[in-house]
Chains A and B, each alone.
Chain A
Amino acid sequence: MGAAGGYLRSVAMFRLQGSKVLAVEMTGDAVKAKNGSMVAYDGQMAFKKLSGGGEGIRGMVTRRITGEQMTVMEVRGQGTCWFADRASEINLVGLQGDKLYVESSNLLATDAGLRTGTTFTGLRGASQGNGLFTTTVEGHGQAAITSDGPAVVLRVSPQFPLSVDPGAYIAHQGNLRQSFQSGVTFRTLMGEGGGEAFQIRFEGDGLVYVQPSERNTIAGDV
């Protein structure tokens, strides 16, 4: 895992300690992490809140408007810093120039070198109960995302598109097109639905992260 970032510059090393604690080794560099998610550290560390997600004024305004606010802090120092968030499982994602789409609430930590932004997701976002926008992470480095229960990574290839329950979706990366699928029929309207009225359909080439638990969504009720 270290080789992934090693050739670039001195990047923070992400390592999982158990499945719920993220250990990051730093040598003077910085990582961005969810506010208050530090559980322990040794060495010297400084914590600074990045207002509005740390994307400058423009990012801050976009985040406010889109409701994809995340309170992020910058951790800089030397030593090891451990992060955890409400005992949720942590997954490491390595990025080599590609883009990771993730809900801001599921993003735990990223390399400071990664850029974060927001994109419009359309109807999919609304069905997930997460609003119409999602967070993107882009660049070279590692990111840690959280999931409720151990996440599975599902591969999508052109021959094998994938449909995912909006409540169980946490993130995706790669060159994927997503569309919104609805299986609303007469029965659903009569209140006899199977509880799976909506799905997100992924087509193309990439990876989708799915958690073994479902958030409360509008779609889950019908």
Chain B
Amino acid sequence: MTFQELNSKMVEATVAPGQRLFSQRGAMLAYRGEVSFTPNMSGGQGGIMSMIGRRVANEATPLMTVEGSGTVLFGHGGHHVQVINLAGDTLYVEADRLLAFEGTLEQGTMFMGSQGGVMGMVRGQVTGQGLFTTTLKGHGAVAVMAHGGVIELPITPQRPVHVDPQAYVAHHGDVRNKLSTALGWRDMVGRGSGEAFQLELSGNGAVYVQASEEKL
């Protein structure tokens, strides 16, 4: 296991020669052994093209490459950290929630509109996620940050899950998501229940929800 949760807010990562890690810049707390941290201009993997892609998509968080041999402690802003293990599926997460991830994962950006068309774009705007989101694909572990504790809710075809967009953290698996609105006349006259927009996730996978409606 590359990432080990020390407590709810810190993870310990093991780095071995030939195994790279990516982490958010400045998220290192302490390290043991011979480890080097290189700021990473391109903000992740891939060549110049993916870098431009990320810049355009505004999903370019400053990342650094962690290489060498030893152990590194990561934590950031006192946020809760959740380690998610991927076994071949894709994780969808906002770039600024990424604390660290293994170099074996393939990083990409996804256009919201490609999932759900126009509603997908509206969804990005409503949830404050923007029009793009980051994807990580392959085998490996990811450490994701959230405000408050995180719960994992399984999604099965019989049991679609609705999530408050502000409490949504990440999801993985073969999941379709769309913005469902429960806008009624009450919301128009300012008498809404505060739950007018929800993300509806259906398919097969899991969604991570934080115990708070605050952004990072």
Contacts and interface: CB of A to CB of B under 8 A. Distances in A.
Nearest to A39: B167
B193 A21 contact: no
Interface string A12-33: 0000011111000000000000
Contact of B195 (A73, A82, A87): A73
Contacts of A35: 193-194
A65 to B, nearest CB: 20
Which DSSP category, helix, strand, loop or mixed, fits chain B's interface?
loop
Contacts of B210: 39, 84, 87
Interface in A153-197: none
B192 A49 contact: yes
A219 interface: no
A40 B147 contact: no
B214 A42 contact: no
Interface string B147-168: 1110101000001111110010
B167 to A, nearest CB: 4
B60 interface: no
B213 interface: yes
Contacts of A84: 148, 167, 210-213
Interface residues of B, number: 27
A40 B161 contact: yes
B174 to A, nearest CB: 17
A49 B153 contact: no
A36 interface: yes
B195 A38 contact: yes
A71 interface: yes
A85 interface: yes
Contacts of B80: 87
Contact of B149 (A19, A37, A41): A19
Nearest to B212: A87
A42 B195 contact: no
Interface in B148-201: 148-149, 151, 153, 159-164, 167, 182, 186, 191-195
Interface of A: 17-21, 35-43, 45-49, 51, 71, 73-74, 82, 84-87
9 contacts: A20-B211, A21-B151, A36-B164, A39-B211, A40-B162, A49-B191, A51-B191, A84-B167, A85-B213
Given A21-B149, A47-B182, 4 more contacts: A36-B213, A49-B186, A49-B191, A49-B192
Q: What are the 7 closest A-B residue pairs judged by CB atoms, nearest first?
A: A87-B148, A36-B194, A20-B211, A39-B167, A73-B193, A84-B211, A47-B193
